[in-house]
Structure 1
């Protein structure tokens, strides 16, 4: 999963999903106060069935006038824990009866210098959460509030940079944000590792599965943060390659195998072996980005093609790696800007730095990265690198 740190809703959705996986909760909500309507709005939610049902029932918006436990926590700034929600006369009937919440944790959500909402965790099982979980949620609320506050700062400074042609100020702030977020993710990583070790000792297969899911989500966040830091290194001239002999065929074939799914197969075609001098981690970074984009924009059942071929040129041998999908294509007016930082394709919710980094990595190898796209017939990216023998 990717943390789109310049947009509040997807950032809080991702934070909610991470917390849901850590606590094995049926629902996590990041409620923020909407002052114009005096309503708590679930700006961020976990991607879980109970959360989807909540939205369908309209319970993702809770007017202060309707009261209920979330409103009480917001107004009193006092944490709340219950393992028998169905017996609580002060909870909203829709939460208890229609949504089926039985256990709840709720804590105030500080953003900046004020309480701006509530972080809530729910389960359909009675007596599910503990006091330790409540203390963890209070710590998580401080982290979520910090992330939300910094996202808001990024949004404001980005608007200011666009208006005043000072884009560099916003980019520097995003790099600082990436450093800060990396520091705050370390405690979550440590907790996940503790959960995994405890689950292994107890042979708890369900806990192991949940911990593995949380670890995967954290890896997605880490990859995005590393991309943000790479942008900063490029600007500061600190981006370096570590070239070594690498079999591009083996690298591409492995990527095709791991990225394939039943709905979206990745087909590989290439020679048995093709060795050159390159930074394998950076080449993998480029190809993972291109394949992930192709899978995202491919209709169900349609394959993505990953092809590798030698390409003779007057100046010497090159290798061309193409990644093709059968999606709807990229609008013609967007193609010239596609490799600029913070340019996002249709339907994308990320920051728009993946293709910018991919092209810069290609250029750092002395190569190129180009795109050909026709509306309605799909998109093909071509990475071309000079072949250098070891």
Structure 2
């Protein structure tokens, strides 16, 4: 997750700069001595390391000219590119046909590499190397294979940026980010259910055997996995919105009770969540979707509130042009939204400051509000916190549409 978030944040103004930064991220994630992102140069028939981690081994590779490898010279990098097959070894010095400079000059012993697919075409190789024998595991190779999809999307994005106009730059970055998100959501969803089942089994065993410390640790682990499940749901909902498959099922519900539930669930010892307003406020809305929107708003407020302060969920209603509307104000006491972000605060993948996340919560909350025939707005005077107002028609969405 940390690697994905940082990949999405990489600037795409320059292909080489983007790939160098991506190599640095992967070197840190794998603990390797070097990571290379090779792209094929058709005119010279060479594989060029446009992205190389800035490590001693990476700098030595450049000084020896091994960052450019003719495909005709063979070696594991060329083999992965020409065949598309992944490569893994813990003893590169025993691999027949390996490039001599890689083994003797660089001293590489462990090597994993996968083909790099860019916009549906095999365009290069993603490679990680270490001078330690048997350094990489099968899990490392699977990780590299998964991350290669994201590097391919990053490469595609950077190449688009170099070719298109400034107006198309924003659209190119968004498309690349969506490719990364789609891969992540589908990959993680496949592993989440077995992980939850195993945690529940361990939790029951710890309770039976009277191990309270393990029970507490497993509760925390389950909470983390549940948060990951919420993130996956958000990621998949972005896709459903784009495909017009985002469903809402309006029914009578108490907005005040929902606010109390969210306040109890998300409040922390350092940041309390308080609810103000009438004890009951009934609207026609999709409770699950509304809870999703409110949790995103409150979580965002908590992240930006200093310890010892509090977040307020304030409920009210008013009559506008003959229609009754319910308002849910989420108020924090943080530093406020940076003025330069205000025009884009409800766009996808917009984050600011040191806040974690990939910028989907506010986007989804605004689209959920729109699906209900309402709106989401923000008021944030500089340095005085932020108030996000979710407005909903009490009578429900116009004609109660089932899809938005």
| Shorter-chain TM-score range | 0.5 to 0.7
Cα distance in 1 for residues equivalent to 2:342 and 2:33: 39
Deviations 1:240-296 (A, max 9, x none): 102121110000012112222232111110111111111111111111111111111
- Aligned to 1:7, what secondary structure does the other structure show? helix
Q: 2:208 and 2:141 mapped to 1: Cα distance? A: 31
Instruction: Give the match's secondary structure for 1:375.
Output: coil
TM-superposed CA distance for 1:322, in Å, is 0.3
Q: How does 1:109-148 map to 2 (within 5 A)?
A: 112=114, 116=128, 141=140, 144-148=143-147
Q: What is the aligned counterpart of 2:223 among 205, 216, 223?
A: 216
What corresponds to 1:37 in structure 2? Answer: 55
For 1:180 and 1:220, locate their aligned partners in 2 and report how far apart those are by CA, in whole Å: 16
Question: CA offset at residue 139 of structure 1?
Answer: 6.5
Rg bigger for which structure?
2
Instruction: After TM superposition, give the deviation of residue 5 of structure 1 in Å.
Output: 3.1
Q: Deviations over 1:149-208 (max 9, x none)?
A: 344334334434545434435424522431122113344333323322332332322222
Mapped to 2, the partners of 1:3 and 1:29 lie a distance apart of: 9
Q: Could you tell me how far 1:379 is from its partner in structure 2?
A: 0.6
1:8: how far off? 4.9
> CA separation in 2, counterparts of 1:37 and 1:147?
23
Report the secondary structure of 2:313's partner residue: strand
* CA drift at 1:303: 1.3
Return the alpha-carbon distance in structure 1 between the equivalents of residues 371 and 364 of structure 2.
10
Deviations 1:3-56 (A, max 9, x none): 67342599xxxxxxxxxxxxxxxxx9742333532469xxxxxxxxxxxxxxxx
Partners of 1:75 and 1:140 in 2: how far apart?
A: 14
**What secondary structure does 1:36 align onto?**
coil
* C-alpha distance in 2 between matches for 1:158 and 1:367: 34
SS of structure 2 residue aligned to 1:311: strand
Q: CA-to-partner distance for each residue in 1:112-171, whole Å, 9 max, x for gaps? A: 3677379xxxxxxxxxxxxxxxxxx96754554445434433433443454543443542
Matches of 1:138 and 1:243, distance apart in 2: 50
Match of 2:286 in 1: 279
Q: Output the CA distance in 1 between the equivalents of 2:313 and 2:30.
A: 40
Measure, in 2, the Cα distance between the counterparts of 1:74 and 1:303: 54
Structure 1 unaligned segments of length 5 or more: list them: 11-27, 41-72, 78-107, 119-136
Count matched residues: 292
Aligned to 1:269: 276
Q: What pairs up with 1:1-390 in 2 under 5 angstroms?
A: 5-8=4-7, 30-34=30-34, 35-38=53-56, 76=91, 112=114, 116=128, 141=140, 144-163=143-162, 164=164, 165=168, 166=172, 167-168=174-175, 170-388=177-395
Q: TM-score, normalised by structure 1?
A: 0.66
C-alpha distance in structure 2 between counterparts of 1:208 and 1:183, whole Å: 26
Distance change >3 Å, CA 240–CA 111, structure 1 → 2: farther
Counterparts in 2 of 1:160 and 1:244: CA distance versus 1, 3 Å:
farther
CA separation of 1:156 and 1:383: change in aligned 2, threshold 3 A: same
- Matched residues in 2 for 1:367 and 1:245: separation? 16
Report the TM-score when normalising by structure 2: 0.64
